[in-house]
Amino acid sequence: MPCLHSEALESAEPGSASPAASVAQQSVRERPTDPAVSWFFSPLWSPRTQRTTRRSGAGFEAWLDDHSDFTRTYFLRRASASRSDHSDLVMKARQRGTNSHMNISSSPDRLKPLTPNLGAPDRTGPCSPDVLGSHSPRSPRSSCMSFSPRRPLSPFCPYSQDVPHPPHLLHSIASKPATCVHCEGCPWMMDLLKGSLSSMGSVAELCHGAVLHTGDLLAAECGSLALVKKDCGGRRSLEEVISPTTLGSFSHGNSCTRAQMELLRGVMGRVLATESPMNLRDATEDQRFDADEDQSSNFKIRTLLSVPIKNHRGEVVGVLVMINKRSFRDGSVSVFTRADEKVLSTHMDMLGMVLDNVQLYESSRQEVKRSQALIEMAQVLSREHHSFEVLLIKMAATIMPFTKAQYCTIFIPGERTSVFADKVSFSRVIHLECEELGSTCQIYRRERDVKDIDPSHALRSLVTMETLNMSGSSEGSTKSLICCPVRNERSENVIAVCQLMNKRSRDSEETEAFNRYDERLLEDLAVYCGLALQYAQAVQITKERRASIEVTQEVLAYHITAAQQEIQTLQEATIPSAESLHILDFHFSDFGLPEDLTTQATIRMFLDLNLVQDFNIDYKSLCQWVLTVRRGYRNNVPYHNWSHALSTAQSMFAMLMATKHLQTTFSRLEILALMIATLNHDIDHRGVNNSYIERSQQPLAQLYGHSSLENHHYNMCLFILNNTGSQILKGLSAEDYKTLLHWIKRAILATDLTVYMERRKEFFSLTKKSRVNWKSEKHRELLRSMLMTASDLSAITKPWPEQKRIANLVAMEFFAQGDKEKEEFKIKPIDIMNRENSSRLPYMQVEYIDEICYPLYKALSRMFDTCSPLLSGCKKNRENWMQLAEKVEEQDSENSSSATVETHFKTEGATQTEE
């Protein structure tokens, strides 16, 4: 884009080609054909209609036809406006030949110092850390770029004439034309158009070149540039990129004073707020400027010209100010003209457009860098680490190259005690240093104590739980510092603080400040770090708890294992026969049986089923296992104790021994699984059911969720089988061992009456079939489950005295649970557990037999005739309970009649007394 000089605009005639057009035509001819050379002709700027062939004739006309939407409006508007405005100014200056100072309006609307929230908040864009706007690489961008509309002229002082330039002013301007390279095109602009984004350097370098070029073009002594920065609320503020810089051959010994800086901030802030240029023609007349204070500086601010920098969408992305146009040779003061303002605005149009694209380019590069950093961090966290400190070191080593930090320190907070709950401190630190080695860097860990590192900034970040950026700090060797808290995902607790110091510059050996992008990157990495630390802490806690469980199991194994003397006694004892122990009888009762005979009867079952011989079970291990299982049952539980376990195992043994068809249907491994399951199906029972455990939220319910007791019984069984000295299954192959444990677990879970009620309909249907396929694993598993339930409920089939005794034990256990529910949950228990219904025990037993027991034993007897004694015993006990229920009913009726007669006599006596 050419620089529009006043004389060139003045000589332009309607209908003739303007110098701008000639320059544009030349620039079109000189446009490189390689699209990679010039970003300006990239798809971001390409016209709506791309022609693949060129028409014959002048290249300028062809280019205008192809790009009419971009060029026509711009050149006509620029040429006409510049010609009319500037020619009038020149004519008035020639006629008057006077010189007077111009000043900004003295209206009450005085300039305000620059504030962080100038202008209305921009709600259309997200929170942007960049100083160039609010868009990011994720934002959709327009594919066509255009210049912003012509800006309004800056305000003039009402005290002065329209054009206060003497005749020698025109000579001065003519001697220093504002065009670049004899109107052949602005070299600075052409360099921007021809150069690629990657070769433009940083934003600061681009802005610095713009200040130097425009300052030389306008013959200004000093220039400054600031870019717009938006906070998370959309409020705009100016961030100084180029501080007041001496231009050309002008040199001043002192920098701007505080009052001068306030003046510059106020002017630039007003330009940002109004989004219009401002030409201050006499700074000494401004009331905010302290002339006395200004006399202490060699540098004087006389004139100012400030214009906004807008992108192609018309958004202000920065403000440029030019200070003190070069004075005339006779010592009179020169001022910035409208032509200067137009030239400066034209350059800032180009700069705003380039800055917009540079920002997009930089944002995309930053996002690529950010994604790479997050991917590398994720890869680090996905690996297994041997210790917590190793993980922290690898995380710090991943962060440092991306942020270019010289030092990285991770602070680990100490635990707060109840006495010092408000006091925060760090228990340890991990400190790393980065040393550059050519194009690579080497990271070292330095041993540092907490007291050797200043924790003040980290403590502040820990307390506020916010990122702290102390860039520009000159404390000791710290020139820039940033602290970021690493939070626990599940809570607001800060589990670490990551501190980076001294960001290395890529262009020099000096350090630079951490910017907003570094903050965002560190905050994103802190999220990953928080997850990693949380995972590492969870792993550490898991290891500690696993060690605690192992210690607990060791203690449990010691106390649950029978004494060696007891094991030796059982091992050396002569095991009675099954006939003498009556364990082949379905009516077996262990009531009154000595305790040592109960373990011997268990050994006899394994021997008579040939399990010891078939699976090569060590006899001593079998003795220890049986004794350990017996010790696993709680003696304070009325019914679900070792006696019930023995009775259940004996019922299974009796059915297996009496029914040869069962021994041929089941494999030897299945029979072993059934015997182990019956002995362990209620081990460590607590005297309450699953409903109470779930309602009271005991650990068992939290651990298993459903069938809590049955799952616990299986795990206790597995624990004893793996206990040293009780490993009766060590002779099995790995495959048989795995299959056996699966069958044991399924058998124990089948004793849950809820499971039985769900599956019994399928079994009843199976028993009615004439032919059953026992080769089917599904049918055999169903049969094993029903046999487990039949053995578990076999107390209902025992002789009446034994059945009545056991029923009272069950009622005692149930009523105890009902009492707990009343006291703890303030609820009324179900009838079978309500002590107030103790007189209704016979009725409840009859209902229990009819609904649960009788259908099962009837189905088994239909399938296996040898199991008919179980059905006969169940029927007899039902009759006995029914008779008892009738007696209770008669007794209740008599008691009710007696109560009625007694009430009648009392009522009659009371009536006679009254008479």
Percent above pLDDT 90 for the chain = 37
Which amino acid does the sequence have at 911?
T
pLDDT over threshold 50, residue 439: yes
Torsion of the alpha carbons at 587, 591, 597 and 600, rounded to the nearest 10: 40
pLDDT, position 276: 92
More confident residue, 832 or 142: 832
Question: Poorest-confidence range of 519-528, 636-645, 706-715?
Answer: 519-528
- Cα within 13 Å of Cα(452), Cβ side: 9
- The values of phi and psi at residue 566, to 5°, are -65, -40
Tokens of 350: 């180009």
* Bridge partners, residue 498, by sequence: 410, 484
More confident residue, 588 or 35: 588
pLDDT over threshold 80, residue 161: no
Q: Give 180-243 as a 3 state SS string.
A: CCCCCCCHHHHHHHHCCHHHCCCHHHHHHHHHHHHHHHCCEEEEEEEEEEECCCCCEEEEEEEE
DSSP class of residue 118? B
pLDDT, position 11: 39
**Average pLDDT estimate for 870-895:** 91
Report the distance separating Cα 751 and Cα 786, nearest Å: 9
Question: Poorest-confidence range of 127-131, 519-523, 596-600, 734-738?
Answer: 127-131
pLDDT, position 902: 53
pLDDT, position 288: 54
More confident residue, 810 or 153: 810
**Average pLDDT estimate for 675-681:** 98
Tokens of 156: 């003039």
Highest mean predicted confidence (pLDDT) among 299-303, 510-514, 542-546, 822-826: 822-826
* Bridge partners, residue 407, by sequence: 433, 501
Residue 706 appears among annotated catalytic residues: no
Q: Is 252 labelled a binding residue?
A: no
pLDDT, position 400: 86
**Average pLDDT estimate for 138-157:** 38
- Asked if 171 and 196 count as a contact pair (C-beta separation under 8 A), the reply is no
* Bridge partners, residue 226, by sequence: 240, 319
> Where residue 570 falls among pLDDT bands split at 50, 70, 90?
very high
pLDDT over threshold 70, residue 195: no
SS3 407: strand
Which amino acid does the sequence have at 161?
Q
- Asked if 359 and 311 count as a contact pair (C-beta separation under 8 A), the reply is no
More confident residue, 394 or 336: 336
Report the distance separating Cα 881 and Cα 800, nearest Å: 9
- Encode burial over 678-689: b for 16+ CB neighbours within 10 A, e otherwise: bbbbbbbbbbbb
pLDDT over threshold 90, residue 543: no
Contacts of residue 578, defined as CB under 8 A and 6 or more positions apart, other chains included, come to 584, 604, 605, 608, 657
Catalytic-labelled residue, pool 640, 685, 712, 713: 640
Q: Is 681 labelled a binding residue?
A: yes
- The values of phi and psi at residue 444, to 5°, are -120, 150
- The values of phi and psi at residue 865, to 5°, are -65, -30
CA angle 222-224-229, nearest 5°? Answer: 175
Question: Poorest-confidence range of 43-47, 190-194, 674-678?
Answer: 43-47
C-alpha of 622 from chain center: 53
As a residue count, the chain comes to 915
- Encode burial over 319-341: b for 16+ CB neighbours within 10 A, e otherwise: bbbbbbbbebeeeebbbbbbbbb
Q: Is 845 labelled a binding residue?
A: yes
pLDDT over threshold 80, residue 277: yes
User: Which uninterrupted H or E stretch holds 436?
Assistant: strand 426-437
Q: Is 790 exposed, middle or buried, given 0-12, 13-18 or 19+ CB atoms closer than 10 A?
A: buried
pLDDT over threshold 60, residue 130: no
More confident residue, 50 or 493: 493
- 552-559 long-range contacts (CB < 8 A, ≥24 apart) are 553/719, 556/719, 557/719, 557/723, 557/724
Q: How many Cβ atoms from other residues are within 10 Å of residue 727's Cβ?
A: 16
- Cα within 13 Å of Cα(733), Cβ side: 4
- Asked if 504 and 408 count as a contact pair (C-beta separation under 8 A), the reply is no
Q: Is 800 labelled a binding residue?
A: no
Q: Is 557 exposed, middle or buried, given 0-12, 13-18 or 19+ CB atoms closer than 10 A?
A: middle
pLDDT, position 150: 41
> Where residue 801 falls among pLDDT bands split at 50, 70, 90?
very high
| Whole-number Cα distances in Å, 586 to 460, 653, 661, 795, 797 | 79, 9, 17, 10, 8
pLDDT, position 191: 78
Question: Poorest-confidence range of 142-156, 219-233, 399-413, 843-857?
Answer: 142-156
Q: pLDDT digit string (tens) for 112-122?
A: 333 333 333 34
Q: Is 641 labelled a binding residue?
A: yes
SS3 502: strand
> Where residue 5 falls among pLDDT bands split at 50, 70, 90?
very low
| Closest C-alpha to 648, from 836, 821, 787, 809 | 787
Question: Average per-residue pLDDT in the chain?
Answer: 76
DSSP class of residue 795? G
* Bridge partners, residue 437, by sequence: 440
Tokens of 896: 């009710």
Give me the residue label for tokens 């690898």. 394
Q: pLDDT digit string (tens) for 553-564?
A: 899 999 999 999
Tokens of 504: 């290395």
